[in-house]
Amino acid sequence: MDTKKFCRLTEEEIKSVLKSRMNEHRYAHSLNVAERAVLLAEKNGADPEKAYFSGLIHDICKGIPQEEQLAIIENEGIILDEDTKKSPALWHSIAGAIYSEHELGVTDEDVLNAIRYHTSGRGGMSILEKVVYMADLTSAERNYPDAEYTRNLTDKSLDEGIAYGVRWIAADLERRGFPKGKDTEALLEEYKNVIITE
């Protein structure tokens, strides 16, 4: 696609940036998330090109050391709340949005938010944010125990997929002793009455 609609780089240039910043597995994941985001965008009324672009770059800061992720956030003058400080898994999303804006020249707020919130989710997500959040959780190479179920559920209903996914993530964070954080809490609350039909 013409990624120059959304940033300064061509798709080939973005792909070489990604390859220089992450291992092969994460690069393959990025391509899978981009592809899956297109499908979910088409089903749910998001812009498929924005979805592809956001999916492609969503983990652009995941392969760099966590201290570098934190430095990107701090250099931006962002003060993390206590829960986020205790959750290094969230840092690459926040750093990824900042990096995408400054280094790739992304200006679209919805794309930047889709990257920023792809791990935590948040209350009141846009369709694009929801699409990227679930494309990440259900990309083709995902093989956690419920991956196939979550993928099929999300194909049937994006909202049911989110309801299932966020409950699974919240339980997993609890089990591993990490705080849920206010954004995941807000998503959990927003989806608490969504009934999963199968």
DSSP secondary structure code for residue 8 in this structure:
S
Q: How far is the CB of 56 from Fe ion (least distance, A)?
A: 11
Q: How far is the CB of 152 from Fe ion (least distance, A)?
A: 20
Q: How far is the CB of 198 from Fe ion (least distance, A)?
A: 26
Asked if residues 128 and 37 have their Cβ atoms less than 8 Å apart, the reply is no
SS3 119: coil
> What string of H, E and C letters represents the secondary structure of 46-90?
CCHHHHHHHHHHCCCCCCCCHHHHHHHHHHCCCCCCHHHHCCHHH
Give the number of C-alpha atoms closer than 13 A to the C-alpha of residue 46, restricted to the C-beta side: 29
For Fe ion, the closer of residues 47 and 59 by Cβ is: 59
For Fe ion, the closer of residues 3 and 119 by Cβ is: 119
Q: How far is the CB of 115 from Fe ion (least distance, A)?
A: 9
- Near Fe ion in 120-139, by CB under 5 A: 136
For Fe ion, the closer of residues 121 and 186 by Cβ is: 121
Convert residues 22-61 into a mask of x (bound to Fe ion by CB under 5 A) and - (unbound).
Answer: -------------------------------------x--
The single residue listed with the structure tokens 């049937």 is: 156
d(CA 29, CA 135): 10
Q: How far is the CB of 92 from Fe ion (least distance, A)?
A: 6
Convert residues 85-124 into a mask of x (bound to Fe ion by CB under 5 A) and - (unbound).
Answer: ----------------------------------------
Asked if residues 129 and 117 have their Cβ atoms less than 8 Å apart, the reply is yes
For Fe ion, the closer of residues 59 and 190 by Cβ is: 59
d(CA 154, CA 134): 7
For Fe ion, the closer of residues 173 and 194 by Cβ is: 173
Token pair of 8, please? Answer: 């300064």
Question: Interface residues with Fe ion (CB under 5 A)?
Answer: 59, 136
